[in-house]
Amino acid sequence: MEIWVNNQKIDIFRGARVKNALQKYSEEEYRAVLSGSKQAADPDGHPLELDGELVQGDKITIDRR
């Protein structure tokens, strides 16, 4: 399925979670979110937890906290 992370398209397996999409996008950014220095959020700015399940077309942004 296609997921968008910081406006970049990521092709990832069906049933992937937020952490999988972040890892695929950038290990470094994933670690930053894991450590809490950055935060994954949906287009409305709502924080997303790393184990959140994704559906086709979901959009994620990674921002500094």
Question: Which residues, numbered 20-59, are part of the site for other proteins (CB under 8 A)?
Answer: 20-21, 23-24, 27, 42, 44, 46-49, 51-58
Does position 7 interact with other proteins (CB under 8 A)? The reply is: no
Rounded Cα distance, 33 and 6, in Å? 13
Give kind and range of the element (H or E) at residue 63: strand 59-64
Q: Which two tokens stand for residue 4?
A: 């968008």
**Among 4, 17, 29, 61, contact with other proteins (rule: CB under 8 A):** 17
* DSSP designation for 25: H
The tokens describing 10, both together, are 């990521």
CB of 23 to other proteins, least distance (A): 4
Q: Least Å distance between CB 4 and other proteins?
A: 11
